[in-house]
């Protein structure tokens, strides 16, 4: 191996190392809601709504900032992906209200969404 080739290989190795260590991969920001009945059994087919209202004071109720609805699967869970809303470097993400309904059963709760994590909450329907 000639000295010029060795130097070229070393430069490529260093640049490649910098490229891989300099990247900060953004992880998904996900909310998972588990819906159970009062006996602790999962509730399949429940409609789960996650939403947040903007600033609220005595004279003004803010607009909805998030409002999304999905239906639970056979395990009584539903997953919401908020990755497209998260901007890297943002401090904190959101606290969302949860409403779950199925027939005459209802349940409410809140979930704190932390960025780049899978956030979980259980709602009991009665």
Beta bridge partner(s), residue 111: 96
Homologous superfamily of domain range 27-125: Carboxypeptidase-like, regulatory domain (2.60.40.1120)
Q: Are strands 118-125 and 77-81 parallel, antiparallel or unpaired?
A: unpaired
Q: What is the pLDDT of residues 76-92, one digit of tens each?
A: 999 999 888 866 665 56
Nearest to 98 by CA among 55, 46, 51, 61: 51
Q: In the sheet that 64-71 helps form, which strands lie side by side, from edge to edge?
A: 64-71, 47-53, 94-102, 105-113
Q: What is the pLDDT of residues 34-59, one digit of tens each?
A: 999 999 999 999 999 999 876 556 55
The whole-model pTM stands at 0.73
Q: Please check the confidence at residue 68 and state whether its pLDDT lies above 60.
A: yes
- Domain extents in the chain: 27-125
Q: Looking at residue 98, what is its pLDDT?
A: 97
Q: Looking at residue 24, what is its pLDDT?
A: 57
In this prediction, residues 5-24 reach a mean pLDDT of 64
């Amino acid at each position: 191996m000639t000295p010029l080739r060795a130097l070229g290989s070393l430069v490529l190795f260093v640049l490649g190392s910098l490229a891989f260590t300099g990247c900060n991969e953004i992880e998904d920001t996900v909310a998972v809601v588990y819906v159970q009945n009062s006996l602790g059994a999962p509730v399949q087919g429940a409609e789960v709504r996650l939403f947040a209202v903007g600033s609220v004071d005595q004279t003004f109720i803010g607009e909805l900032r998030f409002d999304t609805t999905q239906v639970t699967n056979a395990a009584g869970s539903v997953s919401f992906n908020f990755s497209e809303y998260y901007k890297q470097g943002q401090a904190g993400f959101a606290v969302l209200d949860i409403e779950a309904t199925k027939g005459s059963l209802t349940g409410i709760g809140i979930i704190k969404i932390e960025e780049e994590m899978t956030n979980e909450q259980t709602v009991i329907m009665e």
